[in-house]
A and B are shown apart, each in its own frame.
Chain A
Amino acid sequence: MGIISEDKIIVAIVGSLGIIFTWWFFLFKKEKETAVEKEVDIIVSGGYSPEVISIQKGKTTKINFIRKDSTDCLSEVVLPDFKIRKELPLNGKVTVEINPQKSGEFGFACRMNMYHGKIIVK
């Protein structure tokens, strides 16, 4: 084997950095938790904002999903632990009421299970 040319070394280094960055960027994000009293608007656009909400056990909480993203996948939101599946019309508001009796973390997602959010019941 001859000497590896400079550009190849650069590509290898940038590639390695890219791998580390990708891993860090997607898998090491800090979840920002939004505490919710009674009602919360979750904007559905490229995901859910806020993504993680915390609510209180035994209290009815209204979650309003407002979809602003035309991505087909986001057209439905599924809260499997609460057995709720709702269609979200574009630019419409769909209200979901939950009254959790158990504390814990309950995920919600779009219908293809690509975008995720979390409800933390305390």
Chain B
Amino acid sequence: MKQTYLIKGMHCASCVRGVEEAIKKVPGVSDVSVSLPAETAMVEFDLEKVDDEKVFSAVSGIGYQAALKDNAGSDDLEKEKNKDLTRLKKKVVVSLFFGALIFWGSLVGQNFFLQLILATIVQFWAGLGFYKATLPALRHRTANMDTLITIGTSAAYGFSAVATLFPGLIAQAGIEPMPYFDVSVLVIGLILLGRYFEAKARAGTSEAIKKLIGLQAKTARIVKDGKEIDVPIEEVVVENVIRVRPGEKIPVDGEILEGGSSIDESMISGESIPVDKQKGDKVIGGTINKTGTFTYKATKVGSDTVLAQIIKLVGEAQASKAPIQRIVDLISSYFVPVVIILAIITFVVWYVFGPYPAFLLALLNTVAVLIIACPCAMGLATPTAIVVGVGKGAEKGILIKDAESLEIAHKINTVIFDKTGTLTNGKPVVTDVILVSEAYPESGKKDPGQARMTEARRDDILGLAASLEKGSEHSLAEAIIQKAESEKITLSKVEKFKATPGYGVEGEICKDKVFLGNRKLMEKEKIEIYDLRFKIEELESQGKTVMMLSVDGKLAGLIAVADTVKENTKEAVEKLQKMGIEVIMITGDNEKTANAIARQVGIKRVLAEVLPDQKEAEVKKIQAEGKVVAMVGDGINDAPALASANIGIAMGSGTDVAIESAGITLVSKDLRSVISAIELSKKTMRTIRMNLFWAFGYNVALIPVAMGVLYPFFGVLLNPIFASGAMALSSISVVSNSLLLKRVKI
């Protein structure tokens, strides 16, 4: 057998020779080929004599390290599969051609001995695989589809061979010595044809993961000591500085150090519009740099990268089992033995009660029962749909943790959205800067002290506030500073800065005492708000947080800060509601702010002032109302709530895909992908149900027909050749139906 190992510690060609020779010395090794750039050794050896440990110790004996390479030789696997397909094709062509000859021969009265030769070739060359699968299975006391085909075709072939070689013997038993070689040959031919098409179709089901693997870059251009060198992707380490030019693939995850560009992340997030990135922004390996050139620092490499984690997640989800599959498993564990029993019953009943020629009818009907039964369609019904569905999701930035999550998602009738960061952008921005004079001009007239401030400009308010906030760490401070920076306002020097948690900040700017904070701060400092409180209340009712700025004991202006609603939130909420799904918002904000945001996006039910640790309990309360709940959050702060919902949906930041508590992770921040995920689940489930209906319905309907239940009423019998055709079609139809999932719009 062949095995690929990872070899660590090789630097030069002589290392390669050394490793090769060391492995070759292991008794039982027939061939070794070591690659320095790939750091691998391909070893061919005799399984009886050699195991991995022997190779490891041979390599470590000369000072290198060997390890098993995961996914080793996927190219070899591909080649082997193609070879298998070619072999299968040859068998199909020969069997069907011989079958046609025999069929034509039996019409025109051909020589039975010639038929016997052709049929023997097909039975034991083309059909060898069936025997090879059946005999060891019988040793395990298990039965499978091959068992049924082997028994069925052997019975037809065996009888025909005896009828050809010893016609007298058969005639003596009162049976017409008529061989049925066309049955055994065409049944094998058609079943192999079905397998050929099924194998071809099946290759298409795992296309998505192959595409993901294909996204991985092969090399990276590292900047070191002022020089740029191309290195294989495996050699890139964290902290390496990498340069990316326009049109190139970004090799690993990292953070932009210099330059900027527009980056196409559609392959990861499913979002078709390229994202603009600047210094400090994160980039994802596997995405494509469109326009600019930049350098960035690698932060995640190898199996830690977002892409590697997505591949792992998708692979795992495709291997998992949907709950609906459990019942199928139970049925299929009894299926083959039951079919064999039905075949025996068919033979006995036809032989004992059937019309003349009873034996021949009994034989042909028994063969038909064995051949028509198709356990493989049942076995393929669920997994093929799951593999295609999960793959389709990954293409759209919807990462499904397991088949169970995909199955549950279609039952959702309530979606709870966390507010901050999910419905909103999660970053407060300055929405209003209001001068006292603008908001309430008369106040200036009433109070002479205010007059000075009426002359102040809007920029001054923002400048003073930003100068003060420079020293603060409050999240609102960042919004004000950013606004001032974006408007290119020069900040002033602050003296005697002091922050009072729960109130605000203060300091001296140009000898003026300046306060910035909430109403409590103003009250504490005995600064009059006058009728401006109406304006403050108005802003607050819009969900904004209002900060007041006073200069020299007088109110100078207001700055309102709010978290903005994401662009597509309203549309997504409306669509969900149209689908008959109740949308609920959950937030730690006060009711006023919460209601304001809810109104903006059209959400009717709001759970406000819920502390992070209470979210889980709120989710459970809603479940207790009998709802199937999806909780949508960022997956970090609300992990317990996500885990307790029927399904947790994490809106990823695009960097943390392996969110454990979430059944579904959405790479994109667009809320519409929640709808896509539910749609995907609905469509996958529809495909699974359709597949199961066909697979079961097919067996339930046609096995009795093959047994001959229609014969007493309509004189209808099922020819075993038709049975094999139908059975081949059933597997193909199930796989093809799953493939149709690739085309659905979500």
Contacts and interface: CB of A to CB of B under 8 A. Distances in A.
Interface of A: 4, 8, 11-12, 15-16, 18-19, 22-23, 25-27, 29, 45-49, 51, 66, 69-74, 78-81, 83-85, 87, 89-93, 95, 107, 111-116
Nearest to A86: B319
B320 interface: yes
A72 B139 CA distance: 19
Contact of B140 (A46, A71, A89): A46
24 contacts: A8-B351, A19-B344, A23-B337, A26-B340, A66-B1, A66-B47, A69-B133, A69-B136, A70-B132, A71-B132, A71-B133, A80-B320, A80-B325, A83-B402, A87-B77, A89-B77, A91-B47, A93-B3, A113-B332, A113-B378, A113-B379, A114-B144, A114-B376, A116-B142
Contacts of B337: 22-23, 25-27
Given A11-B347, A11-B352, A72-B84, A78 B319 contact: yes
Contacts of A51: 140
A107 to B, nearest CB: 8
Contacts of A116: 142, 333
Nearest to B76: A89
Contact of A15 (B76, B142, B144, B348): B348
A87 B334 CA distance: 26
Contacts of B195: 72
Contacts of A23: 337, 341
B368 interface: no
User: For the complex, would chain A's binding face be called helix, strand, loop or mixed by DSSP majority?
Assistant: mixed
Interface in B330-350: 332-334, 336-337, 340-341, 344-345, 347-348
Contacts of B27: none
In the A-B complex, list the 8 residue pairs whose CB atoms are closest, starting with the nearest.
Answer: A46-B136, A85-B319, A80-B321, A15-B348, A47-B140, A83-B316, A112-B379, A113-B379
B329 interface: yes
Nearest to B87: A70
A16 to B, nearest CB: 8
Interface of B is mostly: helix
A89 B73 contact: yes
Nearest to A13: B348
Contacts of B52: 93, 95
A47 B344 contact: no
B80 A89 contact: yes
Contact of A27 (B68, B315, B321, B334): B334
Given A11-B351, A15-B345, A93-B47, A84 B336 contact: no
A106 to B, nearest CB: 10
A24 to B, nearest CB: 10
Nearest to A82: B319
Interface in B643-693: none
Contacts of A15: 344-345, 347-348
Contact of B344 (A18, A80, A92, A107): A18
Interface in B363-419: 375-376, 378-380, 383, 402-403
Contact of B2 (A4, A69, A92): A92
B135 interface: yes
A95 B73 contact: no
A115 B336 CA distance: 12
B129 interface: yes
A23 B340 CA distance: 9
Contacts of A95: 52, 68
Interface of B: 1-3, 47, 52, 68, 73, 76-77, 80, 84, 129, 132-146, 195, 199, 315-321, 325, 328-329, 332-334, 336-337, 340-341, 344-345, 347-348, 351-352, 375-376, 378-380, 383, 402-403
Given A89-B73, A95-B68, A115 B142 contact: yes
A19 B317 CA distance: 40
A113 B329 contact: yes
Contacts of A84: 316, 319
B351 A19 contact: no
Nearest to B83: A90
B332 A72 contact: no
Nearest to B380: A112
B319 A12 contact: no
Contacts of B380: 112
B352 A26 contact: no
B317 A83 contact: yes
A87 to B, nearest CB: 6
Contacts of A83: 316-317, 319-320, 402
A85 B329 CA distance: 17
A8 B358 CA distance: 10
Most A CB contacts (10 A, CB to CB) among B144, B318, B340, B402 go to B144
A68 to B, nearest CB: 9
Contacts of B329: 107, 113
B554 to A, nearest CB: 65
Q: Which of A11, A19, A113 has the most CB of B within 10 A?
A: A113
A92 B1 contact: yes
B351 A45 contact: no
A26 B336 contact: yes
A71 B147 CA distance: 12
B395 to A, nearest CB: 19
Given A15-B347, A46-B136, A92-B3, 10 more contacts: A11-B351, A26-B141, A26-B142, A47-B140, A72-B195, A72-B199, A83-B317, A93-B47, A113-B332, A113-B383
A17 B324 CA distance: 36
Contacts of B142: 26, 46-47, 115-116
A19 B345 contact: yes
Nearest to B313: A83
Contacts of B315: 85
A66 B336 CA distance: 26
A10 to B, nearest CB: 10
A77 B47 CA distance: 20
Contact of A90 (B3, B80, B133, B145): B80
A91 B193 CA distance: 25
B341 A45 contact: no
B652 to A, nearest CB: 20
Contacts of A4: 352
Most chain B beta carbons < 10 A, residue from A72, A74, A93: A72
Contacts of B146: 71
Contacts of B80: 89-90
B136 A45 contact: yes
B133 A46 contact: yes
B29 to A, nearest CB: 14
Contacts of A49: 140
Contacts of B143: 26
A87 B80 CA distance: 11
Contacts of A73: 133, 144-145, 376
A8 B352 contact: yes
Contacts of A19: 341, 344-345
Nearest to B140: A47
B132 A69 contact: yes
B649 to A, nearest CB: 19
Contacts of B403: 80
A5 to B, nearest CB: 9
A6 B274 CA distance: 83
A85 B80 CA distance: 18
Please indicate which of the listed interface residues B129, B195, B321 has the most CB atoms of chain A within 10 Å of its own CB: B321
A113 B87 CA distance: 24
A37 B383 CA distance: 32
Contacts of A79: 319
> Which among B135, B337, B347 has the highest number of chain A CB atoms within 10 Å?
B337
Nearest to B134: A46
Nearest to A29: B141
Contacts of A29: 141
A71 B135 CA distance: 12
Contacts of A85: 315, 318-319
